[in-house]
């Protein structure tokens, strides 16, 4: 059955295989209904506020799932499961082993969501989920070997090898954000110093910018736009940098330099066909991409050899939702 809108045929819910994907981050919880082409056709977002604790966050996740489930049910679509991406690691039973940015350890997320929604909940690392989305529909499509970098509050990684998600021996592979790339002025949430996450994430950019402001004599347009140092965010810093603000440019340049170091390490280790940049920081677009590509070129070990294409995510901040919706099918057939 088709509906027509301005002469264009539009498939109804009944004609598509609909899925629900949930992307849980340190800043926001986003959920959506995803169709068979990887399009998010309905989306709900709530603030995470990790300080509230596990139980309240789980209730919010369940609320989003149940709301989307009701929307599908109203249109005659039955759904049996849901995929959930988290900024951490979960076992095959859906129990969270470790989720640093949310303060979770040993949390029975899959079982709790099943009780609250009636759906089987499949839990996977959020960057792995984003990699699934980009490989199925986006900037990594068709690649035999590719790497996804999610640059958000932290830095996540997802690796595709042989056209399949690579989870490693214990399922904890691709923690690229915790690759050591240099000494930093603060420690990572994991307790170590020098993690890529403390150089190339939104939080890292904000913290370094504030540090520059403390020691600089001149004003910054990013700081003025924010109305105070405690309110400045990565978006404002990038906007100011694009307009030539010196302190913002210095902060962005540092982020790009260390991001390039991480990318060169990935190239030296895996030699992938493509490396995709996603997450909130990637919204800086070609401004960040061109700067990073140039830095990568200068640091390559084998400069005369073809190396990975560095691309922006095709899905932007929706990669997590789309990828999460693919998790149940991936869990059922991990080798396909």
Residues 307, 284 contacting (CB under 8 angstroms) = no
Per the listing, tokens 């929604």 go with 117
Structure tokens at 242: 């694009």
Q: What pLDDT score does 16 carry?
A: 55
Per the listing, tokens 């609250």 go with 116
Domain locations in the chain? 11-131+318-332, 143-313
Q: What pLDDT score does 215 carry?
A: 85
Cα atoms found within 13 Å of the Cα of residue 301, Cβ hemisphere only:
10
Reduce the secondary structure of 247-308 to three states and give it as a string. HHHHHHHHHHHHHHHHHHHHHHHHCCCEEEEECHHHHHCHHHHHHHHHHHHHHCCCCCCCCC
Q: Indicate whether 4 pLDDT > 60.
A: no
Q: Indicate whether 112 pLDDT > 90.
A: yes
Averaged pLDDT of the chain: 90
Structure tokens at 168: 């490693």
CATH of domain 143-313: 3.30.420.40
Question: pLDDT grade, residue 13 (50/70/90)?
Answer: very low
**Burial letters for 34-52: b for 16+ Cβ neighbours within 10 Å, e otherwise?**
bbeebebeebbeeebebee
Q: Indicate whether 258 pLDDT > 70.
A: yes
Per the listing, tokens 């050591």 go with 180
The predicted-structure confidence for 115-156, as pLDDT tens digits, reads as follows: 999 999 999 999 999 999 999 999 999 999 999 999 998 999
Q: Indicate whether 282 pLDDT > 90.
A: yes
Question: 286-299 vs 234-242: helix axis angle to the nearest 10?
Answer: 80
Question: pLDDT grade, residue 320 (50/70/90)?
Answer: very high
Shared fold status for 11-131+318-332 and 143-313: yes
The proportion of the chain whose per-residue pLDDT surpasses 90, expressed as a percent, equals 78
The burial of 336, by beta-carbon neighbours within 10 Å (0-12 exposed, 13-18 middle, 19 or more buried), is given as exposed
Q: Indicate whether 303 pLDDT > 90.
A: no
Structure tokens at 332: 């059922």
Contacts of residue 88, Cβ cutoff 8 Å, sequence gap at least 6 = 96, 97, 98, 99, 100, 101, 102, 104, 125
The predicted-structure confidence for 148-177, as pLDDT tens digits, reads as follows: 999 998 999 999 999 999 988 888 899 999
CATH of 11-131+318-332, one of 3.30.420.40, 3.30.450.20, 2.30.130.10, 2.60.40.10: 3.30.420.40
Q: Indicate whether 15 pLDDT > 50.
A: no
In the chain, which ranges are continuous DSSP H helix?
54-74, 109-117, 126-137, 197-200, 202-215, 221-226, 234-242, 246-270, 286-299, 319-332
Q: What pLDDT score does 226 carry?
A: 66
Question: pLDDT grade, residue 185 (50/70/90)?
Answer: very high
């Amino acid at each position: 059955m088709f509906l027509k809108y301005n002469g264009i045929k539009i498939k109804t819910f009944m004609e598509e295989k609909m899925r629900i994907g949930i992307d849980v981050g340190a800043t926001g919880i986003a959920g959506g209904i995803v169709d068979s082409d990887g399009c998010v056709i309905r989306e709900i977002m709530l603030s995470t506020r990790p300080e509230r604790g596990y139980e309240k966050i789980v209730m919010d996740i369940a609320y989003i799932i149940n709301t989307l489930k009701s929307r599908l049910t109203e249109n005659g679509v039955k759904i049996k499961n849901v995929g959930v991406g988290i900024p951490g690691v979960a076992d095959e039973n859906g129990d969270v082993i470790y989720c640093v940015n949310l303060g979770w350890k040993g949390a029975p997320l899959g079982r709790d969501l099943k009780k609250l929604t009636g759906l089987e909940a499949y839990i996977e690392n959020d960057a792995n989920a984003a990699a699934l989305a980009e490989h199925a529909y986006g900037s990594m499509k068709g690649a035999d070997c590719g790497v996804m970098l999610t640059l958000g509050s932290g830095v996540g990684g997802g690796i595709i090898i042989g056209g399949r998600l690579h989870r490693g021996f214990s399922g904890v592979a691709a923690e690229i954000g915790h690759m050591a790339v240099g000494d930093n002025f603060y420690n990572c949430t994991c307790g170590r110093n020098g993690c890529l996450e403390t150089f190339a994430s939104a939080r890292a950019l904000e913290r370094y910018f504030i540090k520059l402001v403390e020691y600089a004599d001149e004003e910054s347009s990013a700081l003025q736009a924010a109305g105070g140092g405690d309110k400045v965010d990565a978006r404002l810093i990038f906007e100011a940098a694009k307009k030539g603000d010196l302190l913002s440019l210095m902060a962005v340049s540092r982020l790009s330099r260390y991001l390039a170091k991480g990318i060169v390490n990935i190239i030296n280790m895996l030699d992938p066909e493509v490396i995709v940049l996603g997450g909130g920081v990637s919204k800086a677009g070609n401004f960040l991409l061109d700067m990073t590509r140039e830095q990568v070129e200068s640091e390559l070990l084998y400069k005369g050899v073809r190396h990975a294409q560095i691309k922006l995510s095709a899905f932007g901040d929706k990669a997590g939702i789309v990828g999460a919706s693919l998790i149940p099918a991936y869990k059922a057939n991990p080798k396909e």
